[in-house]
A and B are shown apart, each in its own frame.
Chain A
Amino acid sequence: MREITYAQAICEAIDEEMERDDKVIMLGEDIGIKGGNFGQTQGLYEKYGEWRVKDTPISENSFVGLALGAALTGLRPIVEIMYSDFLVIAGDQIMNQIAKIRYMSGGQTKVPLTICTTIGLGRSTAAQHSQSLHALVSHIPGLKIVMPSTAEEAKGLLKTAIREDNPVVFFEHRLEFNQKYQVPEGEILIPFGKANILKEGNDLTAIGIARQAINSLKASNRLAKEGIDVEVIDLRTIVPFDRNTIINSVKKTGKLLIVDEGYERCGVAAEIGMGIMDDIFFDLDLPIERICTQNVPIPFSPILEEEIMPTEEKIYKRIKKMVEENNIG
């Protein structure tokens, strides 16, 4: 099977959807001539021209609003917000307009719009360029929130997002862009609301969000050698989220660890935990646990950044502790 990078997979998704449907256009900073901040749109400007792959001025709230206007009047736009930290600049258009216009209009409008943005700790880009603010937009009714793990997942989920007739916020991960993955040729479409079980197991369920699914899998492979059998789930989409897969897994294992790069406070780990509580409370051997980014602004120095972020090592240690504590008890 051929190997391509995560960035190339994203580019392929956009390219294929643009070829398939001439209503698909893309707007964002540096997506045109530069080919994207991380190479996500390499070659698209040359192929589709400046009206379909539009470099915008630094006007997040207005160019996201512009994308909404285009979505309401016949187009299928993709709009890029360079870092998820900047979602808040476009806060009004995303949360008060895009998310709500269908409902407020009593169903008269359709918003076939995809917002792509980037998250990811670990490159010393500090407090204003490193956040994973998916919890903020997950909180607002009317949006769909997508967080792929690998290149194949990114491609399949982005294609679905672009074809979706509702607004989607799609979170790409900075540390993944240059990673090479095996990605099959041909059409890949991954549905929303269907989690992926990366590894089956009986001792504990580990849900990883975006890159943390990959970290959880790595940690679990290590633990397998020590006789600890973890079931690893890649959640894929936060809204809608696949309750059934998680519930079935936790009923089997009795233990749940959620790993998420958003801040711990009011993060999606809390939402997932509460969201399934009714169904799995009596199946739990231990309280649900979470590993998230600590409740501090993200520091610049690598030593400090590592201290506060979820890592494979932290996942390994925590799962070990949870399983061993439970065995003793």
Chain B
Amino acid sequence: MKKQIEDYNLSQDFLAKLLKEMLKIRYFENKVVELYSSGTMPGLAHLYIGEEAIAVGVCSALTEQDFVTSTHRGHGHVIARGADLNKMMAEILGKKTGYCKGKGGSMHIIDMTKGLLGANGIVAAGIPIATGAGYSIRYRKTDQVSVVFFGDAASNHGNFHESINMAAAWKLPVIYICENNLYGISVDIRKVTNTKNIADRACAYGIPGVIIDGNDVLSVYDVTKEAVVKARKGLGPTLIECKTYRHKGHHLADPGIIYRAENEREEWMQKCPIKNFKKRLIDEKYFSEEEISFNEKEIRDLIDKAADFAISSPYPEKYEAYEDVYFVDKIEEEVYL
């Protein structure tokens, strides 16, 4: 039985924030498609369209002190964490003004000021790293938490099992968020995994495993909040499986059609997290259609500005290719490259 919005006891401001953050991600990703199609973008990006409720629901349950580790499909997490949209867009276009001075690109966006330990191009590589942040928290005796996002396919990787085992054994404050969108590129998770739900694996490590509708932002927020409280109290990790679906292909050059049945895709498009949350807000009388359109326009403008910033930004100088390999302190070191 689905809860009413009022059962969550959230302020109107907070509800507005949830919607706005999801819209930010959606419009950002749409803009990325536009830039890619116009030939302005080098390389590829892995779009988060359809999964917005997870990034926003989870990140809204955290404080600024917490750590977030992401994946190759990381734009959603990075935006939900409050990243600078200009620097993100510039990074995706390989410009000097990007987060990583154009050296990382879409898959490696990092913002250490926001505790964002990075998007990562290797599937499941972020899981041990986030677990290490959890170890550091426990060692330093703060009440921070470390959250890691990963996909269904990553849960078949050794890192998932090794990391959760250590976090469970040592009661580390890590929250493992599995975004189960049913496919690892083109491979249907159901064909390569014998457990029905990823969260079913939690019991093998003696930790709680929770399954939620990943397209219901309120559900995601609520469950994450509970896991965060637990972790801060020193009660150890939780595995949260969010059922979801990506609207687009694996990356920009993959239509995502040949390996996914048309009726399955259509069914999931109906479950769009943004469309459905908007509808609920209007139906349950939290906002009017006009109020929502106004917000949508505001966010579209933000994204347009970010794109303009990125397009007009310069590329890095050639000599910059040789910088930032090592941290060099005040004493000049001779480094043989």
Shortest CB distance A57–B (Å): 6
In Å, the complex CA distance between A240 and B335 comes to 6
The reply to whether the CB of A197 lies closer than 8 angstroms to some CB of chain B is no
List B residues 315-329 near A (Cβ within 8 Å): 323-327, 329
The reply to whether the CB of B47 lies closer than 8 angstroms to some CB of chain A is no
**Of B103, B137, B333, which contacts A193 at CB under 8 A?**
B333
9 closest Cβ contacts across the A-B interface? Answer: A69-B132, A65-B128, A62-B162, A106-B100, A106-B101, A59-B162, A66-B132, A107-B324, A105-B110
Instruction: Using CB atoms, name the residue of chain B closest to A141.
Output: B325
Stretch at the interface among B22-30, B111-119, B212-220, B294-302: B111-119
Q: Are B112 and A93 in contact (CB under 8 A)?
A: no
Contact residues on A (Cβ < 8 Å of other chain), bracket: 35 or more
Contacts of B140 in A (CB 8 A): 74-75
Q: Are B324 and A102 in contact (CB under 8 A)?
A: yes
Could you give, for residues 29-70 of chain A, a 1 whenever the CB lies within 8 Å of some chain B CB and a 0 otherwise?
000000000000000000000011000110101111111111
The reply to whether the CB of A128 lies closer than 8 angstroms to some CB of chain B is no
In Å, the complex CA distance between A193 and B333 comes to 9
The reply to whether the CB of A239 lies closer than 8 angstroms to some CB of chain B is yes
Interface residues of A (CB under 8 A from B): 25, 51-52, 56-57, 59, 61-75, 92-93, 96-97, 101-111, 141-142, 144, 165-166, 192-193, 239-241, 243, 275
The reply to whether the CB of B14 lies closer than 8 angstroms to some CB of chain A is no
Contacts of B118 in A (CB 8 A): 101, 104-105
List B residues 165-196 near A (Cβ within 8 Å): 165-166, 169
Instruction: Using CB atoms, name the residue of chain B closest to A241.
Output: B336
10 contacts between A and B (CB under 8 A): A62-B158, A62-B159, A65-B159, A72-B112, A73-B117, A92-B122, A97-B122, A102-B324, A105-B103, A108-B112
Q: A52-B139, A141-B337 are in contact. List 12 more A-B contacts (CB 8 A).
A: A57-B165, A62-B163, A66-B131, A71-B132, A73-B117, A75-B136, A93-B128, A101-B118, A104-B108, A108-B100, A142-B325, A166-B327
In Å, the complex CA distance between A92 and B336 comes to 24
Contacts of A193 in B (CB 8 A): 333-336
Contacts of A240 in B (CB 8 A): 333-336
The reply to whether the CB of B235 lies closer than 8 angstroms to some CB of chain A is no
List B residues 125-173 near A (Cβ within 8 Å): 125, 127-140, 146, 158-159, 162-163, 165-166, 169
Contacts of A59 in B (CB 8 A): 158, 162-163, 165-166
